[in-house]
Amino acid sequence: MAAVGSTPGGISPCCYQHAVTADAVFCGECGKPLLRCMAFQECGGLVGDDGCCSVCVKPQLFLDKDAVTEVKTGGVLVLPLVFYNASGVARPLFITDLWVREGDGPRRRVELPWKRLDAGGSNRVNIQTGALERQGRHGIEITFAAATNYYMREERFAFTSLLGLEVEQGGSLVINQTINTSGVGTGADTIYAPIRLETTGDAAKKAPGGKAAELALQRADAFEASSGVRGYTEGPLKGSVVGRGARIVWKGFGADGPAAGPITTQDSMLGLGRAKTVANGGENQVQLLVTDAAGAVDEQLSQAISRRHLELFIQSGRLSARVTGAAGALVGEHRHGADDALAEIGHGDVVKILPKYPEALALQVRMRAAHGFIDEITITRLPAIPEGG
């Protein structure tokens, strides 16, 4: 998660300067859309298309200083790992899953005795390999999922690091030893064999002087999509991920319908409901009113729509909704009330705004994907308002 320039995550400094203006949508210098972190009010962070805020999400992984330096064939290795949350703001991380893969073998899940990682805090875990039966180089892949929460919302990401282990010729050797962490976590009785540890690519080598060695991390975006950490896990776009900068196109909303573009609000959400739009002095980005075929407003039925009935946002690579209206809403075949969990909206889903009057007003969602990346979402109002309405 190396920063580029003087700002986190490689976002241009000019974007941060313009994002402090509440109603700013695009950067006034480079012209890029301002994609704010869901926790922008706390962290002031911006995100790219991958949705990751490097102010909130800044994990580091270390091989603890007690790691040994040689291994012989047939030995079993235990790697003492330390996870650290380097976020500069008081945003905890949650390490929800950890996988280890040896060579071309399958990934296996490692159970973690902890999940929460407070800002500036660290936790330790030991991972054990199988017997290293052959002489030569062995690859150990460490992959983990990290989540950040903000109120009812959550973003999850996966990171990976690759270690190269050089196994020397010799007999089987396993040594029992207590690993002491010198203030990082707590020691535990473990079994490991001496190894000489090297890291591949641009990963740091074992630090001198008995200090912990930081391991290079990179985003595991392909793994995120295939494992369901991000993106859709079923349906016609299974394995596809919605980009945070995905363009939303609105159809059937009449001449005064919302302009197409990504979600650039301060809270990275779109409010939909009976109240007026922000442009007209209200609180929503999209106004929802029941109309007849000619576009005339049905005042009585429209009163059943709450002032802010629905909130749309992109979360962990999926279009999601929070139903806030008292009347609830139908998302696909499932009814959601104001106190229910968030709803996931996929390609082809129809959101019916008033479950008691399902034909009164609905939103049909369609998505465009290329190479597993969804960059455009079309939301069509049913029934459509005539262009002159």
Same domain, 178 and 282: no
Whether 15 is in a domain gets the answer no
Counting the structural domains of the chain, the total is: 2
Domain that holds residue 298: 231-385
Q: Which of 287, 303, 364 is nearest to 330 (CA)?
A: 364
For the segment 182-193, the average pLDDT, to the nearest whole number, is 36
CATH number of the domain where residue 244 is located: 2.60.200.20
Q: Assess whether pLDDT exceeds 80 at residue 30.
A: yes
Tell me the pLDDT tens digit for each residue of 278-312: 989 999 999 999 998 788 999 999 999 999 999 99
Residue 209 has pLDDT above 60, yes or no: no
Answer whether residue 150 is part of any domain. Answer: yes
Distance CA 207, CA 214 (A): 8
Residues 77 and 204 in one domain: yes
Please tell me whether residues 209 and 244 are part of one structural domain.
Answer: no
Please give the pLDDT value at position 179: 32
The verdict on residue 88 lying in a domain is yes
Higher-scoring residue by pLDDT: 123, 195: 123
In this structure, are 215 and 238 located in the same domain? no
User: Does residue 42 sit within a domain?
Assistant: no
**Across residues 250-261, what is the average pLDDT?**
92
Instruction: Note whether 200 and 164 are within 8 A (CB).
Output: yes
**Range of lowest pLDDT (35-39, 139-143, 249-253):** 139-143
Report the percent of the chain where pLDDT is more than 70.
Answer: 85
Domain boundary among 200, 220, 240: 220
- pLDDT band at residue 71 under the 50/70/90 scheme: low
Q: Of 131, 205, 224, nearest to 164 (Cα)?
A: 205
209 and 106 assigned to the same domain: yes
Residue 92, C-beta contacts closer than 8 angstroms, at least 6 positions apart: 85, 116, 117, 118, 119, 148, 149
Question: What is the per-residue DSSP string for 225-242?
Answer: HHHTSSS-SSSTTTT-EE
Tell me, what CATH number does 153's domain have?
2.60.40.10
Tell me: do 209 and 278 sit in the same domain. no
Same domain, 236 and 202: no
CA 1, CA 54: separation in Å to the nearest integer?
7
Contact 226, 356 (CB under 8 A): no
Q: Is residue 52 part of a domain?
A: no
Give residue 2's pLDDT band: very low, low, confident or very high (50, 70, 90).
Answer: very low
Q: Are residues 195 and 75 in the same domain?
A: yes
**Backbone angles phi and psi of 56, in degrees to 5:** -80, -40
Span 346-359, mean pLDDT? 96
Q: Which of 220, 246, 271 is the last residue of a domain?
A: 220
In a domain, 4, yes or no: no
* pLDDT top residue among 201 and 355: 355
Cis peptide before 383 (omega within 30 of 0): yes
Query: Do residues 104 and 219 touch, judged by C-beta distance below 8 A?
Result: no
Residue 70's pLDDT band (cuts 50, 70, 90): low
With cut-offs at 50, 70 and 90, classify the pLDDT of residue 3: very low
For the ranges 78-92, 170-184, 196-210, the one whose mean pLDDT is highest: 78-92
Residues 175 and 301 in one domain: no
Looking at residue 207, the DSSP 8-state letter turns out to be P
Give me the residue label for tokens 């012209």: 31
Clarify whether residues 63 and 203 are in a common domain: yes
336 and 282 belong to one structural domain: yes
Tell whether 40 is covered by a domain: no
- Domain presence at residue 20: no
Q: Are residues 69 and 136 in the same domain?
A: yes
pLDDT at position 174? 33
